[in-house]
Amino acid sequence: MGNDSGEIQERPAHEVFIDDFFLKKTEVTFNEYDLFCEEMFIPKPPDFGWGRGNKPVIMINYYDAKSFCNWLSNRTGKIIRLPTEAEYEYVSMDANYKSKFIYAGSDNIDDVACYYKNSGFETCSVATKNPNLLGLYDLSGNVWEWCEDKYDKNYFNYSPTNNPKGPKHGDAIVVRGGSWGE
């Protein structure tokens, strides 16, 4: 995890060990989230007129995302949760800490990310760009993605080597991945 040439809170790059886990191949879509809203009798989030369907859900907060995970856990009988920051970084680097790609799966942002220069300033349908080497889509760009971790700029100074889960307390919640607007 981390980056020796990145921002101060990303330093130092250090080795961590993560147990096996599964991650959804795409971001959660409006189709999926709207079903959750209908079954839970809660209002659907706005889409800014960009469209719903296979576009990633937007305008939900961390607690909405956690509620969706809990609902999906109840429907499937499996434990569904947000990824930790360590897990997200692991899959973004193609499960290889020596990956030298600038973006998740490529050095060419247009190959793997929906962002302001190729998005028309809105989200793109999921999986319209190339996946990374693990077959996961949209890890760079499209929408910011919630992680399970709270944020503490000093966490790297005391994080454990095995399965870091983020600090117990923090100023905010970690998001990763970038967005259509950057």
Higher pLDDT among residues 1 and 104, named by residue = 104
Q: Which SS3 state, helix, strand or coil, does residue 74 take? A: helix
Beta bridge partners of 29: 56
84 has pLDDT over 90: yes
For residue 41 the two structure tokens come to: 């009798």
pLDDT digits (tens, 9 = 90+) for 4-15: 776 777 777 778
For the residues 32-48, what does the mean pLDDT come to?
A: 98
pTM (two decimals): 0.91
DSSP secondary structure letters along 28-65: PBHHHHHHHHHHHT-PPPP-TTS--TTSBP-S--HHHH
* pLDDT given for residue 96 in this prediction: 67
pLDDT digits (tens, 9 = 90+) for 117-149: 999 999 999 999 999 989 999 999 999 999 999
For residues 48 and 120, what is the distance between their CA atoms, to the nearest angstrom?
13
For residue 39, which phi and psi values (nearest 5 degrees)?
-70, -30
- What residues contact residue 109 under an 8 Å CB cut-off, 6+ apart? 102, 103, 115, 140, 141
